[in-house]
Structure 1
Amino acid sequence: MTTGAPGRAGTRMAESGARRAGADLQAVVDELADELGRSVVVNDPVVRMLVTSRHFGDEDEVRVRAVLQRDAGAEVARHVLDQGVAGWSRAGVVPERPDLGLRPRLCVPVRHGGELLGLLMVIDADRSLTGSQVRRTEEVAAVAAALLARDEQPEEDRAARDRLVAGLLGDDVPDRGEAVSAAAAAGLPADAAQAVVTVLLAPGSARPEVATALRVVLDSAAHRHPHRSLAALAPGGGTLVQVGAHLDPAEVVGTAERMVAAAGRLLGGPAGPDGRGGPDRTSGVVAGVGGVVAGLRAASRSGRQARAAARGARAVPGLGPVACWEALGPYGFLLQLPDEVLGPDLVPEPVVRLLRHRSAPRLVETLRAFLDHGGSMPRTAEALHLHRTSLYYRLERIAEITGLDLQDGGNRLLLHTGLLVAELTGPDR
């Protein structure tokens, strides 16, 4: 396997180029801030600070927090993205949120070749920016776009990283060993004690706008811990690999939730500069989080679990939009079957007959409760708030329709598994 991963020399050159681009962007932002006499910031597309100017006495609580913590907070990002800024083509105003400590801001999308690379924001508490100042800010945003595009990872490097992650999570052991070595050469601590994989799934992931949104949120998540994270696009969505000495499961889940929320807002439909329209549909993006495993060499197991969990988030009501492997329960082993196997044809014929019966909703509810309670009549009757005589009658009808003896443990296992498969492969899946 050839991973195409950048070597140390290539990594140093890329880092050097990034520093030069960052310094140039800082100079442009400082110049605009001095010209306007206002605080200016350039954020990435999910509202994480990239470059900021000095203060001019106009700073609010959000700006102070962002400067100190490099993160304005999830609520602020949600408010900004809810205005539909990802779909703006020109300057607009992000309204104030006193409860968040946020003053109004002029917001200009930073685009290159139609791709959103960032958001240039100028605090405008008294809404006194003139037309010429707004036009000047848009001109600077175009310069910032060129600088950020110069700083963007070359497409061939992105493709190499995608192949690297695919190798790490693949089934071929020798290829996986090569990928681990390549990851180490690229700066990832391959000897870290723990690893975990998060998988994003998105409908229409092959479309350019969807792929771009996924790339943005994955890269943003990886940039939080650049020396112990790898992000890549993959068929159907994307993947984030994280390594460390002691990974916090709650933090891993929080990262997945932020990625899903940010992707949803980036894909939430166009809106005008006044913010009207906003996200008017769900994006369908879901995430699955695998279990924490013993280092990068075992990451493929966490990857399989994450893919199963992501499929569960999409298919099982109540699991999504972010599902963890540990929460899948009995669905876990079924969700690891390939799509061509896990289909309606896998539903046993006795279960099909039951599902097609005119009394299916009531009888299926009864059977599920009976199976979930281990065949206990008292517990099933209590759970359904049903008299035992009525319960006996329903179970007899289920036995007649399915042709199975419900006292037989093998039959109960068949029915229980069949109902799970039907739930995962039903007409709405």
Structure 2
Amino acid sequence: MKRWSRRARPGGEALQSLVDGLAEELGRSVVLDDPLVRMICTSRHFGDEDPVRVRTLLQGIADDEAIRYVLAQGVARWTGPGVLPGRDDLGLRPRYCVPIRERGHLLGILMVVAAKPLTPADTEAIDRAARAVAAEMYAERLASDADEERTRRLVHHLVGSEVTLRWAAHRCLLDEGLLPAGPHAVVTGVAVAGQRGPSGHVSVALRGALEPFRRTRTARGLAAVDQDRAVLVQVFETEPTDEDLDLQSRGIVRSLRTFLDADAVPLVGVGGRRTGLADAWISHDQARVALRAARRLPRLEGIGDWERLGEYAVLLQLPDSALDGALLPKPLRRLLDGGGNARLEETLRCFLENAGSVPRTAEALEVHRTSLYYRLRRIQDITGLDLDDGAHRLVLHLGLRLWDLLQEPGEGHRP
């Protein structure tokens, strides 16, 4: 029999001892996971291992599909022990699960492989171990909460508007070696909308999703989490490319979709690339604009990047109260309100984005030039504007960009 085991994280020897002791008493495999079903520590095998357990030990983390399955069963909401049904297609045997709670906080999930039924003596032993684990984890939680609160405060001061606090936080982060001074600083904002899960689960998911980016091969970072939103400050050794940051953003979104309900909408906004930590506040302000873009432009698929927003970066400086239909130029409103004009709107967009070039527009739309000229005349008749006039084209182009920002996700460009 293979005797694979995974030792506890540093400082978790007490938890490892409790898990090992329970496993030996039961003669069953036991694992302690955090609230996101990521392994904290585990016992050796007892011949009851399944593919999910083996893969978790080899990889250090369960597959996303297995994590989603466990969380979808509502384990994070359970107030007492229960049996998690097995899934043959996942290679998962049934687990007896005990949510580890203390003073209203979900600290973790104790799981026992239940390939064969548990006896009353077994469940009594599990209950005793769970109480001891809860006490140990709560003590750890109190210590880590103090550190996390201090980090959160420093990050918020670093990117805040108060100059004195900003410089004090900057000096503290450098003096304590929490972040290097440079040479390349980037701030990423993350938010979650639509989550209907238990209170506090979003902040736990945000911490879990951002944790891998606190230290990477090329960057050091710190994260500040506040309920349903977070700020990640990173300092890179070499300037990150757009592709690097896009890959990171997609990783954050993917993790949040794994940890949260299907209704949750993760949003990421990446700020501009600055030359040092002292200018992280500028990147933060830009990240907030990029986050608004991610929320308002469905085509961005939840990820906005300041460096690639173009004219939207200017328009999104407007407050939400100003972004309404009243901003749309009347000529464009006449075109949008004219039922059945979706084809004319598409034509106008393509014409403007091709700098008014008829040959390129006809090629892009795959229409004959005669048909294109007809459509352009119709657009001029409806709007009352001259498409040969640069100022008139600017009015229409700007209006279409505003129209994009006024759409609800999934609406497309319907008036």
What is the TM-score of this pair, normalised by structure 2? 0.81
Could you tell me which amino acid in structure 2 is paired with residue 169 of structure 1?
A: V
Q: Provide the residue aligned with 2:21 in structure 1.
A: 31
From 414, 419, 422, the equivalent of 2:395 is 414
Q: Please give the residue correspondences for 1:273-352 in structure 2 after superposition, counting only pairs within 5 Å.
A: 279=262, 282-352=263-333
CA distance in 2, matches of 1:265, 1:72: 11
User: Partner amino acid for 1:202?
Assistant: V
Q: Find out whether 1:178 has 2:168 as its counterpart.
A: yes
1:208/1:40 CA distance change after superposition, 3 Å: closer
Query: Cα RMSD (Å) of the superposition?
Result: 3.4
**How far 1:266 sits from its partner (Å)?**
4.9
User: Hey, what's the Cα distance between the residues in 1 that align with 2:60 and 2:312?
Assistant: 39
What CA distance in whole angstroms lies between the structure 2 residues aligned with 1:298 and 1:230?
15
Aligned to 1:202: 192
Does 1:229 pair with 2:237? no
Name the amino acid aligned to 1:200.
V
CA distance, structure 2, for counterparts of residue 243 and residue 82 of structure 1: 36
Structure 1 residues 226, 323: closer, same or farther in 2, change over 3 A? closer
| 8 Å Cα contact 1:84/1:265 also seen in 2 | no
Q: Letter of the aligned partner of 1:319 in structure 2?
A: L
Offset, 1:173: 4.2
Q: Which whole-Å CA distance do the structure 1 matches of 2:341 and 2:228 have between them?
A: 34
Aligned partner of 1:284: which letter? Answer: V
- Deviation track 1:269-317 (CA, whole Å, cap 9, x = no partner) reads xxxxxxxxxx5xx112322233443332232233233323322222212
Paired residues of 1:194 and 1:295 also in contact (CA < 8 A):
yes
Q: Alignment partner for residue 206 of structure 2, among 202, 214, 218?
A: 218
Selected match of 1:148 from 129, 137, 151: 137
SS of alignment partner, residue 232 of structure 1: strand
Once residues 249 and 116 of structure 2 are traced to their aligned partners in structure 1, the CA distance between those partners, rounded to angstroms, is 36
Is 1:245 matched with 2:237?
A: yes
When residues 293 and 136 of structure 1 are mapped into structure 2, their CA distance, relative to the original with a 3 A threshold, is farther
CA shift in 2, pair 1:248/1:349, >3 Å: same
Cα distance in 2 for residues equivalent to 1:258 and 1:351: 39
For residue 239 of structure 1, give the secondary structure of its aligned residue in structure 2: strand
Equivalent residue letter for 2:84: V
The 3-state SS of whatever aligns with 2:28 is: coil
1:114-168 CA-partner distances (Å, limit 9, x unpaired)? 43322222234x3443354245434433432332222225666554433322222
> Quick check: 1:308–1:335 contact (8 Å CA) kept in 2?
yes
Q: How many residues align?
A: 395
Task: Report deviation, 1:419.
Answer: 0.7
**8 Å contact from structure 1 (residues 293, 299) kept in 2:** yes
Corresponding residue for 2:6? none
1:122 pairs with one of 81, 91, 112? 112
2:367 aligned residue (386, 410, 420): 386
For 2:152 and 2:397, how far apart are their aligned partners in 1? Answer: 39
Deviates more, 1:170-179 or 1:308-317: 170-179
Partner of 2:5: none
Residue number in structure 2 paired with 1:89: 79
Conserved? CA contact 1:39–1:123, under 8 Å: yes
SS in 1 for 2:265: coil
**1:341-364 CA distances to partner (integer Å, 9 max, x unpaired)?**
444333223222322222432221
Of stretches 237-246 and 129-138 in structure 1, the one that deviates more from structure 2 is: 129-138
Instruction: Give the deviation of 1:424 after TM superposition.
Output: 0.6
CA distance in 2, matches of 1:181, 1:26: 38
What do residues 155-184 of structure 1 show as CA deviations (whole Å, max 9, x unaligned)?
665544333222222244443222212323
Is 1:260 aligned to residue 248 of structure 2? no
SS of 1:230's partner is strand
Greater shift, 89-98 or 409-418, is seen at 89-98
Distance 2:173 2:275 in 1: 16
Q: Is residue 395 of structure 2 the alignment partner of residue 396 of structure 1?
A: no
What is the distance in 2 between the residues matched to 1:40 and 1:252? 38
**Over residues 343-389 of structure 1, what are the superposed CA-to-partner deviations in whole Å (9 max), with x where a residue is unaligned?**
43332232223222224322211211111222121222233333333
8 Å Cα contact 1:305-1:336 kept in structure 2: no
Q: Which runs of 5+ in 2 are unaligned?
A: 1-8
1:318-363: CA deviations, max 9, x gaps? 2123344445344333334433444433322322232222243222
Q: 1:19 to 1:340 in 2, by over 3 A?
A: same
Give the whole-Å Cα distance in 1 for the aligned partners of 2:233 and 2:142: 18
TM-score normalized with structure 1 length = 0.78
The yes-or-no answer on 1:161 pairing with 2:142 is: no
State the Cα deviation string for residues 58-111 of structure 1 (Å, max 9, x = none): 44454445445533343443343344333333323252455x665443333223
